[in-house]
Amino acid sequence: MRLARLALEQFRSYESAELHLDPGLTIVAGPNGAGKTNLLEAVFVGVTGRSPRTVADHELVRHGAPFGRVRLDLADPAGGEGARVETVVPGIEPPAGLRKRVSVNGLARRSGSLGETVRAVLFRPEEMLLLVGSPSERRRFLDAILAQRDRRTARDLVELARVLAQRNALLRAIRREEATADGLAFWDDQLAVIGARVTASRLALVRELGARIGPLHDAVAPPDELGDAVRLGYADSLKDAWPERDAGEDGSTLEPAFRRRLAAVRQKELWNGVSLVGPQRDDLVVELGGRDVAAHASRGQQRTIILALKLAETDLLGTDGPRPIVLLDDLFSELDPERSARALDLLAERGQVLVTMADPSAIPVARRARVPIWQVGDGRLSLTPRVA
Amino acid sequence: MAGLIAPVARLIEEFSKLPGVGTKTAQRLTYHMLRAPADEARGLAAALIAVKEQVAYCSVCSNITETGVDPCAICADDRRDAARICVVEEPLDVLAIERTGEFRGRYHVLHGAISPIDGIGPDQIRARELIGRVTGGAIDEVILATNPNLEGEATAMYLADLLAPHVASVTRIARGLPVGGDLEYADDVTLIRSLQGRRQVER
Ligand SMILES: [Zn+2]
């Protein structure tokens, strides 16, 4: 599916706005703070049902409005039937009974199943720090892909967060001697079962990304960065409780491993009052030429790898579902002109791309002439006439 | 709230303490009460006080009952099966099950579910009262009808362990597909659970 039209009502800085997209590249230009990022966020909310910037949905609603609405009109390039995806988000004081609602062609849907209708890859400037930032950034990178590919994993991720919050609260209560340790059994069980499933999904994803990243890296890399191989790995928190780690694919050994590891760290968890085992402690490991990239790769090498990771994400999402819409937020402020031109070429080959930038002159003139450029200002959108 | 006379400000403040009521709604309710006839205000005030003064908890099942009516109407009804107890989280759950007319035993209302985040552990739900009821020995079956979410499951697991030595049969309500639904549109977890909870076809 490709996105033909985005319509917003009472979303962030927009009272009402409409954006028509080309099947290829569409540019949104405007000064910083004008609301370009809000627009990409709106597409992402429409595609996934959640914001990449906040968990407090009411923040998405324009100040003072009872609710906000994002509508995506999708067209099937193959000539089949399109779809209308609508997300309604309650404001801070919504009308009685109004709850968050996601629908496709008017029929209510769980947001976790939207990935079967439409997908997106969002590339934010902060992600340029993906490799040097905290492990939580890299887990979020992996989980965002999983949540779009598989509704069961989408649900597991939500459930896992809830289990961990409850379990940590109980561990703290036990430490304060307000609860006894026998209440942990249920939450241990949930953590082992759901934790094993999420870990297995992440392992499979890292393997799939790892299988694709080599050629993509070489396609983005400038000549002086070629030669060293990129390797992806996954660091789990199971330590020696999972001796089958290197034995290959079979995830069925994970659940018993979780139980063994939980038993081993029980005392430490009670002292710390926090869960020490589980997907919330894991990390994506990236190596270049056999060395950890965070410590050893140059800034340029890291950027190349991050671009390759995002390309691999784009390709992977397209293999088992609708080809993703690529959303690039201010990418060109973070990359040198050569690397950004190569990245844009590679992404444009992969389908629909929506790009924000402060100054569209960063795009070569020949390309600009063929691309619709929307100007953002004062909460409004207007299409600038194409240059001849 | 500046500019408001004291009684109006006070009512707005009281309304905004209610769940799901923000300042704006509290203001709307307050101005509605200002315009309404005095009788309506008196009626609301009387109903609010009555709900606190005339409602008590049944000493047997912990469900709400009218003050002075203890045990409650269900516990006092000896046509009901005293050997079967259905355990629910809230008084509203009793109403829901009663509406079906399918259960003729008695209830036990926990007034909550285990949720460490909210500081609710086994001692904060009425579990001890339940054990007190079953240790008498005359109970054949306890049906655990807590909600099918994490907290409800945690509560059911905890109670099942606690009850096992005292009761012949501890059961959990089945989770299945909604009636009138299509398999195709059921979410995976519901489908998986209804497969796990499958049973022999009666013939
Ligand atoms: Zn009673």
Residue A232 sits in a domain of what CATH number? 1.20.1050.90
A86 and A139 part of one domain = no
Is A388's pLDDT higher than 50?
Answer: no
Query: How big is chain B by its Cα radius of gyration, in Å?
Result: 22
Instruction: Copy the structure tokens of residue B88.
Output: 């629910």
Candidates B23, B117, B119; nearest CB to A165:
B117
- Kindly state whether residue A155 falls inside one of the protein's structural domains: yes
Q: Which residues of A300-316 are buried (b: 16+ CB within 10 A; e: fewer)?
A: ebbbbbbbbbbbbbbbb
pLDDT given for residue B180 in this prediction = 66
CB contact under 8 A, A162 and B188: no
Rounded to the nearest angstrom, the minimum Cα separation between B25 and chain A is 8
Instruction: Provide, as residue numbers in chain A, all residues whose Cβ is less than 8 Å from the Cβ of B115.
Output: 166
Distance B18 CA to ligand 1 centre (A): 28
Choose the final residue of a domain: A280, A304, A320. A320
Choose the final residue of a domain: A320, A335, A370. A320
pLDDT given for residue A368 in this prediction = 74
Angle at CA A78, nearest 5°, toward A77 and A79?
Answer: 90
> In terms of CA atoms, which chain B residue is nearest residue A189?
B154
A307 and A326 part of one domain = no
The mean per-residue pLDDT over the stretch A78-83 comes to 86
CATH number of B79-172: 3.40.1360.10
**A4: Cβ contacts below 8 Å, ≥ 6 apart:** A20, A21, A73, A74, A75, A82
- Kindly state whether residue A124 falls inside one of the protein's structural domains: no
Is A191's pLDDT higher than 90?
Answer: yes
- What gap in Å lies between CA A89 and CA A57, rounded to an integer? 7
- Kindly state whether residue A235 falls inside one of the protein's structural domains: yes
The count of other CB atoms within 10 Å of the CB of residue A168 is 19
pLDDT given for residue A386 in this prediction = 66
pLDDT given for residue A236 in this prediction = 94
ipTM for the whole complex: 0.79
pLDDT given for residue B191 in this prediction = 78
A1 and A98 part of one domain = yes
Contact A133, A181 (CB under 8 A): no
String of DSSP letters for chain B: -TTS-HHHHHHHHHHHTSTT--HHHHHHHHHHHHHS-HHHHHHHHHHHHHHHHSEEE-TTT--EEETT--S-HHHH-TTS-TTEEEEESSHHHHHHHHHHT---SEEEE-SS--BGGGTB-GGGTTHHHHHHHHTTS---EEEE---SSHHHHHHHHHHHHHHTTT-SEEEE----PPTT--GGGS-HHHHHHHHHT--PPP-
Instruction: Copy the structure tokens of residue B140.
Output: 């054949």
Instruction: Provide, as residue numbers in chain B, all residues whose Cβ is less than 8 Å from the Cβ of A166.
Output: 115-117, 150-151, 154
pLDDT given for residue A78 in this prediction = 82
> In terms of CA atoms, which chain B residue is nearest residue A97?
B20
Q: Which residue out of B117, B159, B193 would a mutagenesis test of the A interface target, given it has the greatest number of A Cβ atoms within 10 Å?
A: B117
Report the phi/psi class of residue A12: left, alpha or beta, with left for phi > 0 and alpha for psi in -120 to 50: left
Lowest-confidence pick of A116-120, A362-366, B171-175: A362-366
Report the phi/psi class of residue A179: left, alpha or beta, with left for phi > 0 and alpha for psi in -120 to 50: beta
Instruction: Copy the structure tokens of residue B87.
Output: 């355990």
- Interval A135-170: pLDDT, tens: 999 999 999 999 999 888 999 999 999 999 999 999
**B193: Cβ contacts below 8 Å, ≥ 6 apart:** B148, B175, B176
Distance A183 CA to ligand 1 centre (A): 28
Distance B74 CA to ligand 1 centre (A): 6
pLDDT given for residue B14 in this prediction = 93
Nearest to A375 by CA among A358, A387, A354, A362: A358
Is A276's pLDDT higher than 60?
Answer: yes
Distance B66 CA to ligand 1 centre (A): 11
Q: Which residues pair with A68 in a beta bridge?
A: A89
Q: Which residues pair with A229 in a beta bridge?
A: none
pLDDT given for residue A335 in this prediction = 81
Q: Which residues of A334-360 are buried (b: 16+ CB within 10 A; e: fewer)?
A: bbeeebbbbbbebbbebbbbbbbbeeb
A295 and A351 part of one domain = no
Rounded to the nearest angstrom, the minimum Cα separation between A10 and chain B is 18
pLDDT given for residue B40 in this prediction = 93
> In terms of CA atoms, which chain B residue is nearest residue A181?
B121
A264 and A228 part of one domain = yes
Q: Which residue out of B123, B187, B190, B195 would a mutagenesis test of the A interface target, given it has the greatest number of A Cβ atoms within 10 Å?
A: B187
Rounded to the nearest angstrom, the minimum Cα separation between A123 and chain B is 30
CB contact under 8 A, B154 and A179: no
Distance A316 CA to ligand 1 centre (A): 58
A170 and A270 part of one domain = yes
Contact A265, A276 (CB under 8 A): yes
- Kindly state whether residue A125 falls inside one of the protein's structural domains: no
On average, the pLDDT of chain A sits at 91
- Write the DSSP symbol of residue A105: T
A106 and A230 part of one domain = no
Is A310's pLDDT higher than 70?
Answer: yes
CB contact under 8 A, A155 and B25: no
**DSSP-derived 3-state class of residue A286:** strand
pLDDT given for residue B2 in this prediction = 62
CA max distance for chain A = 75
Contact B167, B139 (CB under 8 A): yes
Query: How big is chain A by its Cα radius of gyration, in Å?
Result: 22
A233 and A293 part of one domain = yes
Contact A102, A87 (CB under 8 A): yes
Rounded to the nearest angstrom, the minimum Cα separation between B72 and chain A is 32
- What gap in Å lies between CA A376 and CA A39, rounded to an integer? 10
Distance B61 CA to ligand 1 centre (A): 4
Choose the final residue of a domain: A293, A320, A347. A320
CATH classification at residue A50: 3.40.50.300
Candidates B24, B25, B115; nearest CB to A166:
B115
CB contact under 8 A, B116 and A186: no
CB contact under 8 A, A151 and B187: yes
Nearest to A19 by CA among A372, A347, A363: A372
A151 and A256 part of one domain = yes
The count of other CB atoms within 10 Å of the CB of residue A56 is 9
From chain A, which residues contact B within 8 Å (Cβ)? 92-93, 96, 110, 113, 151-152, 155, 159, 162-163, 165-167, 169-170, 173, 178-179, 183, 185-187, 190
Instruction: Provide, as residue numbers in chain A, all residues whose Cβ is less than 8 Å from the Cβ of B151.
Output: 166
User: Could you tell me the pTM of the whole model?
Assistant: 0.87
pLDDT given for residue A334 in this prediction = 78
Backbone phi, psi, residue B26, to 5°: -60, -40
- Kindly state whether residue A126 falls inside one of the protein's structural domains: no
- What gap in Å lies between CA B197 and CA A324, rounded to an integer? 38
A86 and A167 part of one domain = no
- What gap in Å lies between CA A62 and CA A14, rounded to an integer? 7
CB contact under 8 A, B150 and A165: no
Residue ranges in chain B whose pLDDT is less than 50:
none
| Residue A111, amino acid | S
CB contact under 8 A, B158 and A186: yes
**DSSP-derived 3-state class of residue A369:** coil
> What residues does each domain of chain B span?
6-53, 79-172, 175-203
How far are the Cα atoms of A170, A190, B37, B106, B190 from residue B175, in angstroms, in the given order?
27, 18, 49, 21, 7
| Residue A168, amino acid | N
pLDDT given for residue B185 in this prediction = 67
A162 and A300 part of one domain = yes
Q: Is B181 at the interface with chain A, CB within 8 A?
A: no
- What gap in Å lies between CA A61 and CA A82, rounded to an integer? 27
Query: Percentage of chain A with pLDDT > 70?
Result: 98
pLDDT given for residue B181 in this prediction = 63
Q: Number of structural domains, chain A?
A: 2
Candidates A93, A185, A187; nearest CB to B25:
A93
pLDDT given for residue A249 in this prediction = 61
Domain residue limits at A287: 131-320
CB atoms within 5 A of ion ligand 1 belong to B 58, 60-61, 71-72, 75
Distance B126 CA to ligand 1 centre (A): 13
What architecture does CATH give domain B6-53? Orthogonal Bundle (1.10)
